Amino acid sequence: MSAYDWAAIRAAYEGGASLDVIFNRFGADVSHASRKLRAMGVVMRRRGAPRVIDHDAVIAAYASGRKTADVAREFGISVHTVYHIASAAGVRHYSRPKR
């Protein structure tokens, strides 16, 4: 017999509660709850706050000709994400003249 009400824990998680909230509400250890929910077929969310990216600012920085790595570092995203955002917006990178 389980010490936890896994149906209630699943409902709370699927309702938006974080694993930390589940720990505080039900006393289930975060790693235990995560393993058990996965075993129950629950799709787990990424930990941490969702990242909000200012796409317009990324596009403007990219289109201005700045190095892609510099743009990525400024916004805390990967170079691939910079390319993806710019490509989705149809923005071409300004090529710097060779020295």
pLDDT-derived band at 96 (thresholds 50, 70, 90) equals: low
Using alpha carbons, list the distances in angstroms from residue 83 to 28, 53, 57, 64, 96. Answer: 41, 14, 13, 14, 17
Domains contained in the chain, number: 2
Report yes or no on 44 lying in a domain.
no
Pair (55, 31) in one structural domain? no
The predicted model gives 74-79 an average pLDDT of: 88
> Are both 62 and 35 inside the same structural domain?
no
46 within some domain: no
Residue 35 covered by a domain:
yes
55 & 98 share domain: yes
Could you tell me the residue range of the domain that residue 35 belongs to? 6-39
pTM of the model: 0.50
62 pLDDT higher than 90: yes
